[in-house]
Protein backbone atom coordinates (compact mmCIF):
# COMPACT_ATOMS: atom_id res chain seq x y z
CA UNK A 1 0.00 0.00 0.00
CA UNK A 2 1.38 3.37 -1.02
CA UNK A 3 1.10 6.37 1.30
CA UNK A 4 -0.69 9.49 0.03
CA UNK A 5 -0.88 12.78 1.95
CA UNK A 6 -4.30 13.23 0.36
CA UNK A 7 -5.59 10.19 2.30
CA UNK A 8 -4.88 12.02 5.59
CA UNK A 9 -6.39 15.35 4.58
CA UNK A 10 -9.46 14.33 2.63
CA UNK A 11 -11.43 12.82 5.56
CA UNK A 12 -11.01 16.11 7.46
CA UNK A 13 -12.16 18.12 4.44
CA UNK A 14 -15.16 15.84 3.99
CA UNK A 15 -16.08 15.92 7.69
CA UNK A 16 -15.97 19.72 7.91
CA UNK A 17 -17.78 20.25 4.63
CA UNK A 18 -16.02 23.55 3.91
CA UNK A 19 -14.25 24.57 0.71
CA UNK A 20 -10.50 23.98 0.72
CA UNK A 21 -9.60 27.69 0.47
CA UNK A 22 -11.64 28.40 3.62
CA UNK A 23 -9.93 25.51 5.39
CA UNK A 24 -6.51 26.94 4.54
CA UNK A 25 -7.46 30.31 6.04
CA UNK A 26 -8.93 28.65 9.14
CA UNK A 27 -5.93 26.36 9.58
CA UNK A 28 -3.54 29.32 9.35
CA UNK A 29 -5.54 31.32 11.88
CA UNK A 30 -5.93 28.42 14.33
CA UNK A 31 -2.29 27.33 14.05
CA UNK A 32 -1.09 30.91 14.54
CA UNK A 33 -3.36 31.45 17.55
CA UNK A 34 -2.29 28.17 19.15
CA UNK A 35 1.41 28.81 18.57
CA UNK A 36 1.19 32.36 19.96
CA UNK A 37 -0.62 30.99 23.02
CA UNK A 38 1.96 28.21 23.48
CA UNK A 39 4.78 30.76 23.29
CA UNK A 40 3.09 33.41 25.41
CA UNK A 41 5.53 35.33 27.54
CA UNK A 42 8.39 34.77 25.12
CA UNK A 43 10.01 37.57 23.20
CA UNK A 44 8.74 37.85 19.64
CA UNK A 45 6.13 35.10 20.11
CA UNK A 46 4.03 36.27 17.12
CA UNK A 47 7.07 36.18 14.83
CA UNK A 48 8.03 32.68 15.98
CA UNK A 49 4.41 31.59 15.57
CA UNK A 50 4.39 33.02 12.02
CA UNK A 51 7.48 30.96 11.25
CA UNK A 52 5.86 27.88 12.76
CA UNK A 53 2.78 28.26 10.57
CA UNK A 54 5.01 28.73 7.53
CA UNK A 55 6.88 25.54 8.43
CA UNK A 56 3.61 23.61 8.81
CA UNK A 57 2.43 24.96 5.46
CA UNK A 58 5.65 23.87 3.75
CA UNK A 59 5.21 20.37 5.19
CA UNK A 60 1.65 20.36 3.85
CA UNK A 61 2.78 21.48 0.40
CA UNK A 62 5.61 18.93 0.38
CA UNK A 63 2.99 16.22 1.00
CA UNK A 64 0.80 17.66 -1.75
CA UNK A 65 3.79 17.79 -4.12
CA UNK A 66 4.57 14.15 -3.36
CA UNK A 67 1.02 13.19 -4.28
CA UNK A 68 0.95 15.36 -7.41
CA UNK A 69 4.21 13.88 -8.66
CA UNK A 70 2.81 10.39 -8.12
CA UNK A 71 -0.42 11.21 -9.93
CA UNK A 72 0.68 13.49 -12.77
CA UNK A 73 4.47 13.47 -12.83
CA UNK A 74 4.68 17.18 -11.98
CA UNK A 75 3.90 19.65 -9.19
CA UNK A 76 0.90 21.96 -9.32
CA UNK A 77 2.76 25.18 -8.46
CA UNK A 78 -0.29 27.42 -8.91
CA UNK A 79 -2.28 25.43 -6.36
CA UNK A 80 0.67 25.32 -3.94
CA UNK A 81 1.17 29.09 -4.20
CA UNK A 82 -2.51 29.86 -3.63
CA UNK A 83 -2.66 27.47 -0.65
CA UNK A 84 0.37 29.16 0.90
CA UNK A 85 -1.03 32.67 0.44
CA UNK A 86 -4.36 31.65 1.97
CA UNK A 87 -2.76 29.85 4.91
CA UNK A 88 -0.37 32.70 5.70
CA UNK A 89 -2.91 35.55 5.35
CA UNK A 90 -4.12 35.71 8.97
CA UNK A 91 -0.71 34.95 10.55
CA UNK A 92 0.88 37.71 8.44
CA UNK A 93 -1.73 40.25 9.52
CA UNK A 94 -1.28 39.13 13.14
CA UNK A 95 2.51 39.38 13.08
CA UNK A 96 2.46 42.75 11.30
CA UNK A 97 -0.14 44.05 13.74
CA UNK A 98 2.10 43.03 16.62
CA UNK A 99 5.10 44.78 15.03
CA UNK A 100 3.07 47.97 14.51
CA UNK A 101 1.87 47.92 18.12
CA UNK A 102 5.44 47.48 19.39
CA UNK A 103 6.68 50.40 17.29
CA UNK A 104 3.72 52.56 18.34
CA UNK A 105 4.40 51.86 22.01
CA UNK A 106 8.06 52.60 21.52
CA UNK A 107 7.22 55.99 19.98
CA UNK A 108 4.70 56.78 22.68
CA UNK A 109 6.71 55.77 25.75
CA UNK A 110 10.25 55.69 24.43
CA UNK A 111 10.48 51.97 25.10
CA UNK A 112 8.92 48.73 24.02
CA UNK A 113 7.95 45.61 25.93
CA UNK A 114 10.64 43.78 24.04
CA UNK A 115 13.53 45.11 22.06
CA UNK A 116 13.42 44.51 18.32
Taking only the tens place, the pLDDT of each residue in 5-32 is 888 899 999 999 999 999 999 999 999 9
114: pLDDT strictly greater than 70: no
CB atoms within 10 A of CB 109: 9
Dihedral Cα 37, 43, 46, 50, nearest 10 deg: -110
Mean pLDDT for the stretch of residues 101-107: 84
- From CA 37, how far away is CA 16, in angstroms rounded? 24
Q: Supply the DSSP string of 63-98, one letter for each residue.
A: HHHHHHHHHHSS--HHHHHHHHHHHHHHHHHHHHHH
The two counts, helices (H) then strands (E), for the chain are 4, 0
Map out the domains of the chain as residue ranges: 19-109
CB atoms within 10 A of CB 56: 16
Amino acid sequence: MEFHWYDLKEPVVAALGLPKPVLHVLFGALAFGCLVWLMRGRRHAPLWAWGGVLLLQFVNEAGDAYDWIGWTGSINYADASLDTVLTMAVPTVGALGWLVSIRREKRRYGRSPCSL
